[in-house]
Amino acid sequence: MEDNVQVNFKLKDAIARKFGSQICGARRLEIHESKLSRIVHGWDRPSPALLEKPEKELGRSAVKNLKASSGDAR
């Protein structure tokens, strides 16, 4: 694991507020729950295509810092 890995609390909060839980959010966003968990916890960086639906559902501010670095964290 990298030293600079950080939980994306803004995204985590947006998912919880909109969908009630990360699992329900993953289902609605059509992202596998383990993939969404890796994104939220900073272990994985999603592709721009994968961010389209979360940006539409949760708003640009919840995913904007994910768009800044589009390479994989691993």
pLDDT confidence of 11, banded at 50, 70, 90?
Answer: very high
pLDDT of res. 68: 56
Contacts by 53-60 with C-beta closer than 8 Å and gap 24+?
53/29, 54/11, 54/29, 57/18, 57/28, 57/29, 58/11, 58/14, 58/15, 58/18, 59/14
How much is the average pLDDT of 6-20? 94
The pTM (predicted TM-score) of the whole model is 0.79
Question: pLDDT (tens digit, 9 = 90+) per residue, 35-64?
Answer: 999 999 999 989 999 999 999 999 998 988
Burial of 51 (0-12, 13-18, 19+ CB in 10 A): buried
